């Protein structure tokens, strides 16, 4: 009887211990999102198009924002990975539709990974990919 009770208590302890630490993943995700936001803000400072800048500057800014915030899921050459390929996304979606996906998320992509002028720049850059 004592052995059964001891086995039951030990088994329950192991099961409960295995269930603990669930907040670590949420905390890691939160930290990753914060890091992406910080990198995005830095990319804005480096690559934000100036008012007198042309389309080339906007494209360069969009590409820089992509490299800072999107490459980990969509691939270095827009080939996809965790997220879908974006190499011909402009043939499927307009700039406004891409911007809507950036703002609201789609599928596994979270909303607002990129915001403000960065979102505009990357949406313009991606809309050119046909």
Q: Is 19 assigned to a binding site?
A: no
Q: Is 103 assigned to a binding site?
A: no
Tokens, residue 49: 């198009």
Known binding-site residues for heme c equal 70, 73-74, 109
Known binding-site residues equal 70, 73-74, 109
């Amino acid at each position: 009887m004592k052995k059964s009770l001891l086995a039951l208590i030990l088994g329950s302890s192991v099961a409960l211990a295995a269930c603990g630490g669930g907040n670590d993943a949420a905390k890691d995700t939160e930290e990753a999102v914060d890091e992406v936001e910080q990198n995005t803000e830095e990319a804005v400072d480096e690559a934000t198009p100036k008012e007198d800048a042309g389309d080339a500057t906007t494209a360069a800014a969009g590409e820089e924002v992509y490299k800072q915030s999107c490459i980990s899921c969509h691939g270095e050459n827009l080939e996809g990975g965790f997220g879908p390929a974006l190499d011909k996304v402009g043939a499927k979606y307009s700039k406004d539709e891409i911007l809507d996906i950036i703002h609201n998320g789609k599928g596994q992509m979270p909303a607002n990974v990129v915001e403000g002028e960065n979102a505009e720049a990357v949406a313009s850059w991606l809309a050119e990919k046909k």
